Structure 1
């Protein structure tokens, strides 16, 4: 209602708005981190969401912020008057006209010869406030990952990461901050992971990328009004009590698929032309979980449906808890698929 009244009055005939000085604008942005937009208006509202809501025709300074009534720690409340003009505080955000990053979307390395899936988001205390998880082999050259002593490396910010669907027109969405590629040790769980510092299109919620088909969300127990989302960050480790539960993933290539877990550790020697070294040593992923494919009833007898395919590397794997509303808990992430179309999932 406030928006409708404000829109009506703003379109009435009125005089030209005054403007604020550069000093006043600079002071506001320097002292208030919650500000998203500043402008002048010919109408001012008060008492919003109360029985005494009024709209007054008068010139005022409008301060837009993300959340009204919230004052960041160490800051003061907004001023009531600025250079003789009363202040009206409204909620609003300002961002580029680009979709935010979402779990499950397609990403590409800077040469666009490696594609994968954006995994989960992680709050960081390092160079970047927020990073996302993906596979190291998606964003880094295999030759680099195969260095003899390669375990964890930081400072690889020359490796840029792009939205895999936009042709790089909008610039990189992130740069590689940290990678880990640890294989061959039968006593440990092999790791193929990278943390990508976000430099563009920050995530705004826990909604998953809409890379799935309508029938896929129905089969998994969701609907068009209750789409899958992962906003709380909860995980659930695999145990004797839950290993028989179905698992789902949302990947850039195959969308939302649902399968079951094989409850034993597996090791896989990956077939890749760059994974064979000069001394004929092959790289092996150790102590992984496999996901069994289901028979696809829409295809000829005994045909198995894909759980993942190329470009699905790093898709998060979830168990679905509760029924209304459905709650996703993360169990791991996909790394590779086998020739029998099983999937390998990190523990």
Structure 2
């Protein structure tokens, strides 16, 4: 005898947008008043939406191109409140469908879930570089991520920064997030590069905090570098030789404005060197699906989309440094990769300003020589040239003496 079960469900809409089917977004010619209107809508509605809909993981603002027949087919820009859900087209029995608009801004539901990008490992480096693979082992299980940028710590000396969730167990991560743990509580704090037994240093600080609509939250771990100190601002070596291997970040300068739009790049241990586009900042709130009974929320992160359909990042890249070029054409850091929707994006970056403020520093490690060092180098070159001139003059005199005899 076959038993039949009746499963109740609600169909939201027969049409849906997957993240790979979205229209190309442009943010040019969007007015400040429209940006403020969309940002205010997110601030007002995001927390309520995330609390009412358990499979909603991202609330984000976008402006999309719309062809207007009323204005001679000219392109106009309309705001959208974009909602990413686990599976579009269905909702849990105890929930209601999303409204078609909130505060006059239309909603667009897309399929995709926010994930933190912890995972996998690479080559051992004699002198570590940005983007290298690091690992911490807890009860025999490896937790792996990407080592980002470096800085000089007042107490611990040279340190590197990665994402906390990459090298913490889920249980540790939640305890740090909820202020129930500190570094002294860690079972062990040894960090390897790329993997055990190649010791790199130790975890000396973890800053993990939940975000709200006005505070982005944070998720970083500070690693004291005990061995194989970096000697330059180059990225880790790629599996295949490319021109991107010439990339250098030597100044230690950071970019803290949320007004930037344009191309960015990052180097992670899994996807290595990739490029993306930084989107106009209008606010966002992301939420992971429950981790050990706790939902982890971040907000107002930097949003990066794929460039030319090339995957920007995937698990294992957490902690990867993200760079843009400033007005002088110099590479500057805007933050560290946190997570995103694998395969299609968007991707999310912790702003470097938040990281620096929470650590209590104002700049990153510079590999550019100081004026004093340049002066000493020039002086050494001059001394070597003078020595060679003296030897040459001596040989000339000896040759002349031989000829005269």
TM-score with structure 2 setting the length: 0.51
Is the CA contact (8 Å cut-off) linking 1:320 and 1:329 kept in structure 2?
Answer: yes
CA distance 1:214–1:140, change in 2 (3 Å): same
- Give the number of the structure with larger relative contact order, counting CA–CA contacts within 8 Å between residues 6 or more apart: 2
Partners in 1 of 2:280 and 2:207 — Cα distance?
25
Q: Which residue of structure 2 lines up, in the alignment, with residue 327 of structure 1?
A: 330
**1:218-247: CA deviations, max 9, x gaps?**
xxxx5x6xx11112200112343xx22211
Is the CA contact (8 Å cut-off) linking 2:135 and 2:196 kept in structure 1?
Answer: no
| SS in structure 2 at match of 1:138 | helix
Partners in 2 of 1:322 and 1:213 — Cα distance?
30
Partners in 1 of 2:258 and 2:203 — Cα distance?
33
Is the CA contact (8 Å cut-off) linking 2:135 and 2:193 kept in structure 1?
Answer: yes
Unaligned runs of 5+ in 1: 1-96, 296-303
Deviation at 1:305, TM superposition (A): 1.7
Partners in 2 of 1:322 and 1:270 — Cα distance?
36
Partners in 2 of 1:233 and 1:152 — Cα distance?
31
Post-superposition, which runs of at least 4 consecutive aligned residues in structure 1 deviate over 6 A?
none
Count of aligned positions: 222
Is the CA contact (8 Å cut-off) linking 1:213 and 1:255 kept in structure 2?
Answer: no
**1:103-143: CA deviations, max 9, x gaps?**
011111124522111111110121x2111000111122221
Computed over aligned residues only, the root mean square deviation of the Cα atoms, in angstroms, reads 2.4
CA distance 1:151–1:286, change in 2 (3 Å): farther
The structure in which a higher percent of residues are helix is: 2
Is the CA contact (8 Å cut-off) linking 2:148 and 2:319 kept in structure 1?
Answer: yes
Of residues 263, 269, 273 in structure 2, which corresponds to 1:252?
269
Partners in 2 of 1:342 and 1:256 — Cα distance?
17
Q: Which residue of structure 1 lines up, in the alignment, with residue 33 of structure 2?
A: none
Unaligned runs of 5+ in 2: 1-123, 352-405
1:159 aligns with 2:193: no
| SS in structure 1 at match of 2:142 | coil
Partners in 2 of 1:131 and 1:186 — Cα distance?
30
| SS in structure 1 at match of 2:126 | coil
Q: Which residue of structure 1 lines up, in the alignment, with residue 394 of structure 2?
A: none
